[in-house]
Chains A and B, each alone.
Chain A
């Protein structure tokens, strides 16, 4: 056992996956900058730290820190599944109970079921993935039956609270044919917290079904936030994801979508505005393996202060994926001299009858536009605010609920002192 994992305790559920992952951890290298996937996102400081998984149980409202609302989007009428340091908080949660919906903590599902649900191979290929699979604590299990539409969003709330905490949330969602659901995954951390939140979200969307996923990272403290989302889409299914990084000292979001049936539709958008010495990394993969699929990706970021960023967008169009229509755009503004971003689109197209467009830009604030606004009497802050709001408006406007997009906008504006 390595020094890094010595204080991690593996819960007793999900044995098969765990034992496989445990046997692999030591053979998988800790990623270094020599690996292309991790070239601009170093985890060496993390790998040399000493973290522990949380030992106690649920704390309820009494043990919950005052600075964080257990319900992160007060205006949104939603179900809630709450985890503090990876531990499920039943009294702060409100799960849907309805015909055709099975929703429970992942730790409660049977071993037989646990054996069959996860299909991603992240634990076989990446050290980070093996860590999650070996030590995952709890998470959302959601099963939506055929033609059932979940009436409200489910908010999955992760809180990291404490020093040198290792969190391993793991979530699973299955939407059967014609079913629909919207899941919000919201990650918070208290001011004094430190450690890691290493989460995995796997979903599979059946023919003609629909899944919306909104991911928001708003972590104070000093947290390595590593999220891996793995989505499988069957024929004519629809998936829409939004990834917003509001705050976080080190954030890496990996989103991987595989289309395994004809006519899938995938939309995934994101925004980030790091400041100080924050690091934000978005790695996305869209894999078209069947014909007639469409995908549309829009990520926008503004880099402030001395922040660093990474955007890597892979799009594969396999030989059978004829008539694929794939669009990707990544637009970045480097607002301050000390900030930087490495942006890289990667398109691999093996089918001949396809429409693929991509654009990737890194620029500065448009000084002409700024002067134009100021010459009409807007002060510099108001002028910049208008430009920033306009810049991320296309990402915010496609968020499915107004309550959520308003809250995200409010948090951004609070953080960046928009007028």
Chain B
């Protein structure tokens, strides 16, 4: 499914990823933990195709497609989804028009006709109930005036609408209270399937109680320094990161 080999990336002159290797199989959930500044969000940005990040070495393949050759738009159409740590507010752009444009962009990429209005609305209904996003929020401008929790729920709503192959959740738990964390996690868990993989980036074990990972990796200074099962997260919670350096 996803193969990352010897990935090096920098922002400006600052090298952040320094030879990262990671394989994610279909249906697997991989958690990536690590101290501040270790490169977690950079990994998410590089996977999604953010322009400010320059890949200097390495390979990223999703089902045999070299993602590094593709623009952000094409990566999304190939099935990559990034749930933003800080979702953007876009006044005046309706959430639903945005989703319709996104779905139709992907459909035209796959040689399909635009989605039928009825089918679209049914999908909206199904996906918004998944994260308890009520109609009032759903029909508004993208994230405009949303609380932190509402923005994260909207990210998962979008993920459900777009049905990605690979979803990267960048600190989706940040800024969430316990109830919102539960709702968001429930949405993610319902989206788990044998042909959809997740990379869950987080600082805290707390999220992984709800979204139980198959693998946990520790990222430190731009490389994965330790990998293990879900119990590694508990160990990190107890001991911190210092023992791994």
Contacts and interface: CB of A to CB of B under 8 A. Distances in A.
Interface string A362-387: 00001011011111111110110011
Interface residues of B, number: 32
Contact of A368 (B88, B92, B97): B88
Given A375-B72, A377-B76, A390 B162 contact: no
B21 to A, nearest CB: 24
A377 B90 contact: no
Interface in B137-167: 141-142, 158, 162
Given A371-B51, A386-B97, A390-B141, A376 B76 contact: yes
A374 B77 contact: no
Contacts of A377: 73, 76-77, 102-103, 105-106, 109, 162
B93 A375 contact: no
Interface in B23-80: 48-51, 71-73, 75-77
B106 A390 contact: no
A126 interface: no
A113 B174 CA distance: 73
A311 to B, nearest CB: 20
B98 to A, nearest CB: 7
B154 to A, nearest CB: 11
B77 A386 contact: no
B105 A379 contact: yes
19 contacts: A369-B90, A373-B90, A373-B101, A374-B73, A375-B48, A375-B72, A375-B75, A375-B82, A376-B99, A376-B105, A377-B102, A378-B73, A378-B98, A378-B102, A379-B105, A383-B73, A386-B93, A386-B101, A390-B90
A8 B162 CA distance: 64
B82 to A, nearest CB: 5
A391 B72 CA distance: 23
A368 B71 CA distance: 15
B235 to A, nearest CB: 33
Interface residues of A, number: 22
B220 to A, nearest CB: 27
Contacts of A376: 76, 81, 98-99, 102, 105, 158, 162
Contacts of B158: 376
B101 to A, nearest CB: 5
B38 to A, nearest CB: 22
Interface in B74-132: 75-77, 81-82, 84, 87-88, 90-93, 97-99, 101-103, 105-106, 109
A390 B92 contact: yes
A372 B71 contact: no
A387 B84 CA distance: 19
Interface string B196-211: 0000000000000000
A144 B185 CA distance: 65
A378 B101 contact: yes
A369 B82 CA distance: 14
A99 to B, nearest CB: 44
B98 A386 contact: yes
A389 B98 CA distance: 12
Interface string A353-368: 0000000000000101
Given A375-B48, A390-B141, A380 B84 contact: no
Contacts of A390: 90-93, 141
Contacts of A407: none
Contacts of A372: 84, 87-88, 90, 142
A411 interface: no
A373 B51 contact: no
Given A375-B82, A376-B98, A393-B92, 17 more contacts: A366-B88, A369-B90, A372-B88, A373-B102, A374-B49, A374-B72, A374-B73, A374-B76, A375-B48, A375-B75, A376-B99, A377-B73, A377-B76, A378-B98, A379-B105, A389-B92, A390-B141
A369 B105 contact: no
A394 interface: yes
B92 A391 contact: yes
A235 B97 CA distance: 43
B156 to A, nearest CB: 13
A387 B91 CA distance: 9
Which of B49, B98, B99 has the largest number of chain A CB atoms within 10 A? B98
Nearest to A385: B101
A375 B85 CA distance: 13
A387 B162 contact: no
Nearest to A367: B51
A377 B112 CA distance: 15
A49 B102 CA distance: 51
B98 A373 contact: yes
Nearest to B77: A377
A372 B84 CA distance: 8
Which of B72, B82, B87, B98 has the largest number of chain A CB atoms within 10 A? B72
A373 B89 CA distance: 11
Nearest to B109: A377
A78 B169 CA distance: 55
Contacts of B93: 373, 386-387, 389-390
A375 B87 CA distance: 12
B218 to A, nearest CB: 26
Nearest to A386: B93
Interface string A203-217: 000000000000000
